[in-house]
Chains A and B, each alone.
Chain A
């Protein structure tokens, strides 16, 4: 079924919308969740939460790209779950490495206050602009690694690159990101 038809079902409040979404994007969302959580059960629950969140969002929302819309919901839910879980135990998988890498661009000593919503919104906006200005291949690598939290070997396979090449490219992207965040005074 086409995405527009699925969205129409959501808008008609037809429960078939969830069945169709699960058929078409179930595996995809599961992968997104699994990249972050590294746990099948948690990922499955996360995907179910995604369908619920989607059901509650449409209407009023009418996403232009349903796939990306669902991926975003799944990722955010998975990350919330990851944070809740990580208070008890640190998980394994790509997420730890991803956060370690991003720590290079973050600055603990800054006057950042995550509680202030406007700052979080501004940061999101800045990251979005940063990703947009990256060359296509670098943007893809950035999205695969820091949005989908994919493992480096998986990214290398996808883009037919060597793992080392991916690592080096990501390192360069992080350097650029750090510089960009410094210029935007998000970090010192």
Chain B
């Protein structure tokens, strides 16, 4: 076959292909010759401009979505900073938790002493009370000072709780309840864990070592425990503990906290 044969064969191309090629060339070069053609061109152009509008709109929408996504991601990152703030506050809470009980104990002791002195004075003023009665008064005074001490200690520990260690501010929450996912599904009741120093220490350490992670990157496993935290205003927040040691707060979207598996096991032991 020669190039001339091929060229001749190309001459057999369908009229429609030739016309199509011509049409495309003309539409970009020539002005429409008749009113009908002008209308057709106008229609084609408007169709093209509608397409351009759609394209422009799509681009704007997509870039807006990207900006919003980045903004949300940035917010998540800021959320990490907030959580580290909380961690700092937790640390300061720990410090104050050492100072505050001491103050409370001192106040309670003073109060008990005062009441004992008052009663002793009253007893001496009443003149000639029996030595048995005096003994019993002193015993009462001692007893009341003990009660006061206990009450003071009880109210402090009762308010403090391990809630603070769960990553929120001291005093924001007034109660903490725990329930396993299984129990909740079976309609079981929530438990209020007893405060223990070991518990506080375990939670404190677990959360101070925990790393906040954007939820999208965290492969959360199966939820094992729900921790319900009630605020002063009655609002209830739920923390979810996952078996792979992630903890998420329903009221802090997009962020989960990753604690070590060992810490998680220790914390889990507190819930039993």
Chain A residues packing against B (C-beta within 8 Å): 63-65, 67-69, 71-72, 75-76, 79, 83, 98-103, 105-108, 110, 112, 114, 120-121, 123-128, 131-132, 136, 139-140, 143-144, 146-147, 158-160, 186-187
Q: How large is the interface on B (under 10, 10 to 19, 20 to 34, 35 or more residues)?
A: 20 to 34
Q: Which B residues are CB-close (under 8 A) to A99?
A: 3-4, 7
Known: A68-B16, A128-B13, A158-B25. A120 touches B5 (CB 8 A): yes
Q: How distant is the Cα of A132 from the Cα of B7 in the complex, in angstroms? A: 17
Using known A-B contacts A140-B21, A144-B21, determine if residue A79 contacts B11 with beta carbons closer than 8 Å.
yes
A-B contact count (CB 8 A): 115
* Chain A residues positioned under 8 Å from B129 (CB to CB): none
Contact residues, B2-23 vs A (CB, 8 A): 2-22
Contact of B21 among A69, A114, A126, A139 (CB under 8 A): A139
Q: Is the CB of A186 within 8 A of B1?
A: yes
B residues in contact with A69, CB < 8 Å:
15
Cβ–Cβ < 8 Å partners of A158 in chain B: 25, 28-29
Say whether A147 contacts B24, CB under 8 Å.
Answer: no
Interface of B, helix, strand, loop or mixed by DSSP: helix
B15 and A106 contacting across the interface, CB-CB below 8 Å: no
Nearest chain B residue, comparing its CB with the CB of A86: B4
With a CB–CB cut-off of 8 A, which chain B residues contact A143?
13, 17-18, 21
Q: How far is the CB of A180 from chain B (nearest CB, A)?
A: 12
Residue of B nearest to A101 (CB): B3
Inter-chain CA distance A21–B262, complex, in Å, is 92
Kindly identify which residue among A83, A106, A132, A146 contacts B1, using a CB–CB cutoff of 8 Å. A106
Q: Smallest distance from the beta carbon of A12 to chain B beta carbons, Å?
A: 23
The listed residue (B10, B19, B24, B29) touching A146 by CB distance below 8 A is B10
Known: A106-B1, A147-B10. A64 touches B15 (CB 8 A): yes
Chain A binding surface, main DSSP class: helix
Chain B residues closer than 8 Å to A105, beta-carbon distance: 3, 6
**Given A106-B3, A132-B14: A67 and B19 within 8 A (CB)?**
yes
Closest A residue to B24 using CB positions: A140
Chain B residues with CB below 8 A from A75, complex form: 11
Judging by beta carbons under 8 Å apart, are A71 and B1 in contact? Answer: no
| Assembled-state Cα–Cα distance A126/B12 (Å) | 10
CB 8 Å contact bits of B247-265 with A (1 = contact, 0 = none): 0000000000000000000
Q: A102-B10, A143-B21 are in contact. List 4 more A-B contacts (CB 8 A).
A: A79-B11, A105-B3, A124-B12, A160-B28
Q: Could you say which of B7, B13, B20 contacts A102, with CB atoms under 8 Å apart?
A: B7
Q: Check B13 against A108 for contact (C-beta < 8 Å).
A: no
Which of A63, A76, A124, A131 contacts B17 (CB under 8 A)? A131
Which of B4, B11, B20 has a CB less than 8 Å from the CB of A76?
A: B11
- B9 near A112 with CB under 8 A, answer no
Whether A139 pairs with B11 at a CB distance below 8 angstroms is no
Q: Are A120 and B18 in contact (CB-based, < 8 A)?
A: no
- Distance in Å from the Cβ of A98 to the closest Cβ of chain B? 7
Q: Chain B residues near A123 (CB, 8 Å)?
A: 1, 5-6, 9, 12
Q: Are A68 and B2 in contact (CB under 8 A)?
A: no
Task: Looking at the assembled complex, report how far the CB atom of B28 sits from the nearest CB atom of chain A, in whole angstroms.
Answer: 7
Q: With A69-B15, A131-B17 as given contacts, are A124 and B9 in contact (CB-CB < 8 Å)? A: yes
Say yes or no: A125 contacts B12, CB within 8 Å.
yes
- Contacts of A72 on B, CB cut-off 8 Å? 11, 15, 18
Residue of A at shortest CB range from B7? Answer: A102
